Chains A and B, each alone.
Chain A
Amino acid sequence: MGERVGLEVSLAVSEAVKLARADVIAAYPITPQTHIVEELSQMVADGDLDAEYVMVESEHSAMSACCGAAAVGARTFTATASQGLALMHEVLFIASGLRLPVVMAVANRALSAPISIWGDQSDVMSERDSGWIQLFAETGQEALDLTIQAFKIAEDRRVLLPAEVNIDGFTLSHVVEPIVIPGQEEVDSFLPPYEPQVILDPEKPVTMGPVGFPELYTEIKKQQNEALLGSYEVILEVWDRFAESFGRKYRPVEHYRTEDAEILINMAGAMSGTARIAVDMMRETGKKVGLIRTRLWRPYPFDEIRNAVKGAKAVAVVDRALSFGGQGGPMCSELRSALYPLAEKPVVTSYIAGLGGRDITVENFQTIVEDTGDVLANGPREEYKMIGVRE
């Protein structure tokens, strides 16, 4: 088994990329992701990782270079955040459309303006529909594990889609946690070298990225969507295999004290740690509160979510992103839609918290649960509430 060490989570992601033996890393510096790629460039400089590190001149070029490298069969990685992810926007859709299994870590950060280097999940939510597999980590261990798993999922021939591991900027990326670093041999046997199906090869010329006329475009997009939906089974398979090899179990939705819970809190990412403490405290006072954490965001785990809320009276969804002029929280909208067809469904309340690095406290979660209790007693009010706003 691996070694348990105290490690900054960013560096754990770099360690995962090294253990995965990535061939090409193309990246551009942006806070709070920089530690990941700094560490990777040091690994390459020291000869600890045999990879080409391409110091591109923008995130747009980072993703473009990843596409080129993946197209010749290289295992590729990049990391970014916020404006960097937004600059990649165009190429994200192309990476998934071309079915290139690029893996990316996103140290989630708020979007400008005003410019903010601090954490929230607006960046990834703006790329929700880019066709990538999207995972959220709560802990450093998870960040490392998901990164290794992401390569295996993305490169599976039934999938062949890019995958993204989200870690909250600073509140996860920059904290030091006890993390088990798996052994290289174990990782090698879990994740053998990428065996691409189609590559740019003069011996067997192919045309990649042609023009799609209206007669074919819809069919190609349907096929792509089926691959993303179909990746769900592969993800479960990979997680089973991972549990066998490394002993750590993963599933699309994480449950915490959900048995007999009347009010469930749902969220993604590092704030779940704080929410757990809040749940424990409320449980001590006799409140029947539980937590469901969304780990797999794309493909969305509809059935898991529907099963997870069975028996609950209310679900309070906490988003670290705001969909302007819409329903408020993107994660809440998704959950609401997933529950809508059910004959018996809980009340769903939506909360926005933690924008641009604002702390999300235990008290915030208590307020959220109390407010949801109030909605249960007195009926619905506004579409969503912003928590911790100074007015």
Chain B
Amino acid sequence: MAETPGDLFLPRLLPPQEFFAEGNRGCQGCGAALVMRQVLKAAGPDTIVCNATGCMEIISSPYPETAWRIPWIHVAFENAAAVAAGVESGIKVLRRKGRYHDRRINVVAVAGDGGTADIGLQALSGALERYHDFTYVCYDNEAYMNTGIQRSSSTPYGASTTTSPSGRESIGQKTQKKNLPMIVAAHEIPYLATACPSFPLDLMDKARRAFQTVGPTYLHILAPCPTGWRHASDLAIEMGRLAVETGAFPLYEVVDGKLKLSMKMETRKPIIDYLKPQGRFRHLKEDDIKEIQRRVDENYEKLLRRAELDEGG
């Protein structure tokens, strides 16, 4: 492939250190591993990760091996935010008593969509409301991938999973993807953003901003999953791009309550471009795809209007 100026310069723009080590046990083309890699590049070494049970925990910590070059703790599935709250509170008081470093430490909770939108929602809401100084990173691969592709409340409409299978009587997932970033926004935290590792500079800028913000911050990051989405493993980056460019997963920030789209797309790629390469959508008929297109457009328009309203205000 021909080198573009971007290919030449991009690597120089990124911090060279890798805090999420290569050689982890992620599947080929794992989007979530890229999420971790990019988030931690933005975070730097003064970071503590509190990881929920799930793909990232399983692939990174087969004792006595570890993929983490920063301090890391895993306690359980539904409590990453509560553990992070404890870490943050502990550091705060110990620092006051002169028993911990004075410099800023990024306390980061990491969980998948199941650990965030389903079982971990309560702990997340509690930690946001209590206004702990931490960043919550949800890597959203849109199902329980670690246990074998079961549906979560973050699985999109029409996707076939092992517990929302498509069949003669079913389209697959019958419900709409839970709008978690907006649920988080309702907590009126100072910063939240959606991101995707297919747009690494955007992702790392947002992560940096989250880490620099005092108070609770939230990153909702789409993590293409070749195993669960059933597409070729070399298409993970492409799937992330298409998710964004079709409007299925819009990129935006909410800063102090004001929503700002990261890429304003008046025209978007048709949703079929995103659905077609993925096995989880293979069963969809023309009418189903039309319906999905209608929903994507409706959601995107809603977002556009909200962004205009917030800009105007």
The contact of B101 among A67, A91, A203, by CB within 8 Å, is: A203
Q: How far is the CA of A91 from the CA of B82 in the complex (A)?
A: 11
Minimum CB–CB distance from B5 to chain A (whole Å) comes to 35
Contact between chains at B90 and A73 (CB < 8 Å):
yes
Contact between chains at B72 and A208 (CB < 8 Å):
yes
Residue A388 lies at the interface, judged by CB distance under 8 Å to chain B:
no
Residue B201 lies at the interface, judged by CB distance under 8 Å to chain A:
no
Residue B233 lies at the interface, judged by CB distance under 8 Å to chain A:
no
How many residues does chain A have at the interface if contact means C-beta atoms less than 8 Å apart?
46
Residue B92 lies at the interface, judged by CB distance under 8 Å to chain A:
yes
Residues in chain A near residue B75, CB distance under 8 A: 64, 67-68, 91, 94, 98, 209
Residues in chain B near residue A200, CB distance under 8 A: 48, 71-73, 87
Residue B9 lies at the interface, judged by CB distance under 8 Å to chain A:
no
Q: List B24-80 residues whose CB lies under 8 Å from chain A.
A: 45-48, 50, 57-58, 61-64, 66, 68-76, 78-79
Contact between chains at A211 and B58 (CB < 8 Å):
yes
Residues in chain A near residue B82, CB distance under 8 A: 56, 60-62, 64-65, 68
Residue B89 lies at the interface, judged by CB distance under 8 Å to chain A:
yes
Contact between chains at A61 and B85 (CB < 8 Å):
yes
Minimum CB–CB distance from A219 to chain B (whole Å) comes to 11
Contact between chains at A65 and B78 (CB < 8 Å):
no
How many residues does chain B have at the interface if contact means C-beta atoms less than 8 Å apart?
50
Residue B289 lies at the interface, judged by CB distance under 8 Å to chain A:
no
Interface window among B10-18, B119-127, B258-266? B119-127
A14-25: contact bitstring with B at CB < 8 Å (1 yes, 0 no)? 000000000110
Residues in chain A near residue B86, CB distance under 8 A: 24, 26, 54, 64-71, 76
Task: Given A52-B92, A69-B90, A205-B69, check contact A60 B74 (CB 8 Å).
Answer: no
Q: List A180-227 residues whose CB lies under 8 Å from chain B.
A: 193, 200-213, 216
Residues in chain B near residue A69, CB distance under 8 A: 86-87, 89-90
Q: List B253-294 residues whose CB lies under 8 Å from chain A.
A: none
Task: Given A69-B86, A74-B90, check contact A210 B74 (CB 8 Å).
Answer: yes
Q: How far is the CA of A248 from the CA of B240 in the complex (A)?
A: 67
Q: How far is the CA of A308 from the CA of B86 in the complex (A)?
A: 43
Contact between chains at B71 and A68 (CB < 8 Å):
no
Residue B204 lies at the interface, judged by CB distance under 8 Å to chain A:
no
* Closest A residue to B77 using CB positions: A90
The contact of A208 among B58, B73, B91, B126, by CB within 8 Å, is: B73
Q: List A37-76 residues whose CB lies under 8 Å from chain B.
A: 50-52, 54-58, 60-62, 64-74, 76
Contact between chains at B61 and A52 (CB < 8 Å):
no
Residue B302 lies at the interface, judged by CB distance under 8 Å to chain A:
no
15 pairs of residues in contact across A and B, judged by CB atoms under 8 Å: A61-B85, A61-B123, A61-B127, A69-B90, A70-B86, A72-B87, A72-B91, A90-B76, A91-B75, A203-B101, A205-B68, A205-B71, A205-B72, A209-B61, A209-B73
Which B residues lie at the A interface, using CB under 8 A?
Answer: 45-48, 50, 57-58, 61-64, 66, 68-76, 78-79, 81-94, 96-97, 99-101, 105, 122-123, 125-127, 129-130
The 10 tightest CB contacts between A and B, nearest first, are A68-B86, A57-B126, A65-B86, A210-B61, A69-B90, A61-B82, A64-B82, A74-B90, A64-B79, A209-B74
